[in-house]
Amino acid sequence: MMHKPLLSALLLLPLGAAAQTTYTPELLMKLGRLGEMQVSPDQKTVAYTVTRYSLADNKGQSDIWTVPAGGGPARQLTNTPATSENTLNWRPDGRLTFMSGEGGSDQLYVMNADGSGKQLLSAFPKEGVANLKYSPRANFLVYTQDVKVGKTVQDWFPDLPKADAKIIDDLNYRHWNQWDDYKVSHVFFQHIESDGMPSGRGKDVDIMAGEKFDAPLQPFGGSEQLAFSPDGSQIAYTSRKLTGKAEAESTNSDIYLYDTRKVQTQNLSEGLGGYDTEPVFSPDGSQIAWLSMATPGFESDRNGIVVYDFKTIKRYVVYDFKTEKRQDVTAGSEQAAGNVRWSSDGKTLYFTSPIAGTQQIFSVPAKGGKVKQLTKGAFNYNSFELVGKDAVIVNKTTQATPADLVRVDLKSGRETALTHINEQELAGVKTGKLESRMVMTTDGKQMQVYVTYPPDFDPAKKYPALLYCQGGPQSPISQSFSYRWNFQLMAAQGYIVVAPNRRGLPGFGTEWNNSISGDWGGQPIRDYLSAIDAVSAEPYVDKARLGCVGASYGGYSVYLLAGKHEGRFKTFIAHCGLYNLTSWYPSTEEMFFAKHDIGAAPWEQPQHKSYTEFNPQLFAQNWDTPILVIHGGKDFRVPEGQGMEAFGTAQLRGIPSRFLYFPNEGHWISKPQNAVLWNRVFFEWLGRTLQPEATK
């Protein structure tokens, strides 16, 4: 087997002129990325952010743009190279507020819809605030801020100011990519005076004072987990009011309602055992909806929509709310809901859901009833906002095109493009054909498989192929656009990419989604082999040059297949994969995930088949194929030891292998230069191990 030096191989990557005709890692880094989006009160204007990354500066920067909601030229409102704008809110007076870091920590600014009249509104402390929202009447403001609730080593031992250690007595001492910093995020609100000034003019109220819990849920929850009632007097928020081991073992978050007049908090979802998130009030405030998972400990359960009705009793000018009923209006549906929005008359709920390898918009009566699919096509409709009675502004992606805003008529399905964020960058860029085909699985089921072909594909030639193993383990392969696992980028390097929606991926029914739990190494792995066997039977696939790649559960799949593939593959790449389930189980952080998905702890007897039949480490004696291992030092979901064990195994067994280690990255690669390096090493490894002479 020939091994090219890394540097010379990197120089052979398609940079320069090729970047103008196909996707490259550098081109991906140049693309503007659509961020948040807000529709103005008169529904005539859409404000949104675009983030662009500088490879030289190794960071990104966001600016604010607007576009007419009915279509028209987009307009850039801010251009601040030294800082970023975020947290957009339209006020009832038609002015736009936003957060910006000019002069230090992020502060609140306001400007006119055309970008003029910029004014500083706040004097927030250096510690900073997040998730800021105005009430619909702009008479109240809500935001989150960290509050110290625990003790550091220096708090315990002030005479040891340079001691560098942590004293740990309970679980959840680290989460995803961050250690416990002895702080939690609390929800604050304050009155807004007639001049619009939110800070220093009224008393900030910590509505969670004295609590040791986070709101929103950390680390991924944001302002979507906070909501004002229409009159601003009530605040709904999401929190998991558990700590330590109890928090690590449970998904039981709840929807809490804080009454600013009574200074009281009520748990609206009490008794519901799983995740309850993203509350949204109806237009008249008489109802509130939220996403709800039924199964405790199952983080990938189907999200239903629970509606809570309030009975209003008028007392002078104040309303007193008492519970009337709470129901899952999507009960019996196979759709997993997200991004719930109320119709203007409060009679209908709109939401997104994955279906058959795409994401579409659905509706359901607010009182419960038939779920209807409103859109259909080879794309993802992601987050959206309603405009008028029958239209939405949508964040749209495909596997080949990054996010843009479109306006969609929900009755006719007619789509109007609003933004063209990367029109210049993508001009002349060739993409490969994307095919959706059905493959028969070993248990007689039909499985959808995406196949991406190289640009200018010639069926008379033979191509190497890559089996892509999805993570999650229950994250759909849909029409999302990825900045790392980008199938068009892989195809541009000359590979056919095979991406099966194997067992456990949503969008194909509850049974298909849930069946992976406790069966990681069973039918899902057989599904992978069914997919690659079906595609590699085509005459244009070079069966002597097959690779297998994946991350997280996909990385686990790579490690397991490395010991069970029976000679199918000539190379493997595993990013943040689980190599040894026995050592992974007690070292991960969200124990509810480990317990539910693996099925049992490794010390329980008799041992679960996850440890006796599905543990990749047990089959390392069969490893005989080159493998690239990638891992981040701040990955606490799959700790770095998993990658080190896998690489050490390959090295000690004399298997050609490389370890790409990012000491300051977590489960994902976030820094621009690291992202480009990741891709360069990825493709260099494939080029080295799948080149024709390597298979002779």
Condensed to tens digits (0 to 9), the pLDDT of residues 268-278 reads: 999 999 999 99
Residue 192 pLDDT: 82
Q: Are 127 and 105 in contact (CB under 8 A)?
A: yes
Q: Is residue 567 part of a domain?
A: yes
> What number is the average pLDDT over the span 80-107?
90
Edge-first strand order for the sheet with 130-134 is 130-134, 140-148, 183-191, 205-206
- CA 131, CA 144: separation in Å to the nearest integer? 6
Does an H or E element contain 30, and which?
helix 25-30
Q: How confident is the model at residue 197 (pLDDT cuts 50, 70, 90)?
A: low
Q: Is residue 670 part of a domain?
A: yes
CA dihedral 152, 156, 159, 160 (to 10 degrees): -40
- Of 109, 125, 141, which residue constitutes the final position of a domain? 125
Residue 105 pLDDT: 82
Please give the residue range of the domain that contains residue 603.
430-695
Residue 10 pLDDT: 36
* CATH at residue 540: 3.40.50.1820
Q: Is residue 642 part of a domain?
A: yes
Residues 6+ apart with CB under 8 A from 220: none
**Which position has the token pair 């009155």?**
191
Q: Is residue 545 part of a domain?
A: yes
**Which position has the token pair 């792995």?**
525
> What number is the average pLDDT over the span 212-229?
96
**DSSP for 558-605?**
HHHHHTTSTT--SEEEEES----HHHHTTTSS-HHHHHHHH-S-TTSS
> What number is the average pLDDT over the span 500-513?
96
User: Phi and psi for 355 in degrees, rounded to 5?
Assistant: -155, 125
Q: How confident is the model at residue 691 (pLDDT cuts 50, 70, 90)?
A: confident
The two structure tokens encoding residue 538? 């085509």
Separate counts of helices (H) and strands (E) for the chain: 13, 38
- CA 402, CA 400: separation in Å to the nearest integer? 7
- CA 189, CA 216: separation in Å to the nearest integer? 14
Does an H or E element contain 676, and which?
helix 672-690
- Of 125, 158, 179, which residue constitutes the final position of a domain? 125
Q: How confident is the model at residue 262 (pLDDT cuts 50, 70, 90)?
A: very high
Residue 168's Cβ-count burial label (10 Å; 0-12, 13-18, 19+) is: exposed
Condensed to tens digits (0 to 9), the pLDDT of residues 622-661 reads: 999 999 999 999 999 999 999 999 999 999 999 999 999 9
> What number is the average pLDDT over the span 85-103?
92
Q: How confident is the model at residue 102 (pLDDT cuts 50, 70, 90)?
A: low
Q: Is residue 515 part of a domain?
A: yes
Average pLDDT score over the chain = 92
Q: Is residue 281 part of a domain?
A: no
> What number is the average pLDDT over the span 176-192?
94
> What number is the average pLDDT over the span 394-398?
98
> What number is the average pLDDT over the span 51-66?
96
Residues 6+ apart with CB under 8 A from 50: 32, 33, 34, 35, 62, 63, 65, 421
Residue 136 pLDDT: 92
The DSSP secondary-structure symbol of 685 reads: H
Q: How confident is the model at residue 125 (pLDDT cuts 50, 70, 90)?
A: confident
CA-to-CA separations, 662 to 170, 575, 691, in angstroms, rounded: 28, 11, 27
Q: What b/e readout covers 313-328, taking b as 16+ CB neighbours within 10 angstroms?
A: eeeeeebebeeeebee
CA dihedral 122, 126, 131, 137 (to 10 degrees): -20
Indicate the number of domains in the chain: 2
Q: Is 310 helix (H, G, I), strand (E, B) or coil?
A: strand
> What number is the average pLDDT over the span 345-359?
97
Residues 6+ apart with CB under 8 A from 300: 472, 473, 474, 506, 513
Q: What is the β-pairing status of strands 304-315 and 318-328?
A: antiparallel
- Give the number of residues written for the chain: 696
Edge-first strand order for the sheet with 318-328 is 276-281, 287-292, 304-315, 318-328
Query: What is this structure's pTM?
Result: 0.93
Q: Is residue 385 part of a domain?
A: no
| Cα 272 from chain centroid (whole Å) | 24
| Cα 84 from chain centroid (whole Å) | 21
Q: Are 244 and 151 in contact (CB under 8 A)?
A: no
Which amino acid is residue 319, in one-letter code?
Y
Residue 118 pLDDT: 95
Is residue 316 scored above 90 in pLDDT?
no
Q: Return the active site residues.
A: 552, 635, 667
Condensed to tens digits (0 to 9), the pLDDT of residues 240-250 reads: 999 999 999 99
Residue 539 pLDDT: 98
Residue 16's Cβ-count burial label (10 Å; 0-12, 13-18, 19+) is: exposed
Q: How confident is the model at residue 338 (pLDDT cuts 50, 70, 90)?
A: very high
Q: Is residue 342 part of a domain?
A: no
Q: For the chain, what percent of residues have pLDDT higher than 90?
A: 89
Residue 349's Cβ-count burial label (10 Å; 0-12, 13-18, 19+) is: buried
Which amino acid is residue 304, in one-letter code?
G
- Of 125, 158, 192, which residue constitutes the final position of a domain? 125
Q: Are 477 and 528 in contact (CB under 8 A)?
A: no
Condensed to tens digits (0 to 9), the pLDDT of residues 5-56 reads: 333 333 334 333 334 489 999 999 999 999 999 999 999 999 999 999 999 9
Out of 72-76, 312-316, 429-433, which region has the weakest mean confidence (pLDDT)?
A: 312-316
Is residue 329 scored above 90 in pLDDT?
yes
Residues 6+ apart with CB under 8 A from 604: none
Say how many Å lie between the first and final Cα of the chain, rounded. 8
Signed CA dihedral, 14, 18, 21, 26: sign only? positive
Is residue 195 scored above 90 in pLDDT?
no
- CA 268, CA 262: separation in Å to the nearest integer? 16
* Strand spans (E) along 33-112: 33-39, 45-54, 59-68, 75-76, 85-90, 96-100, 107-111
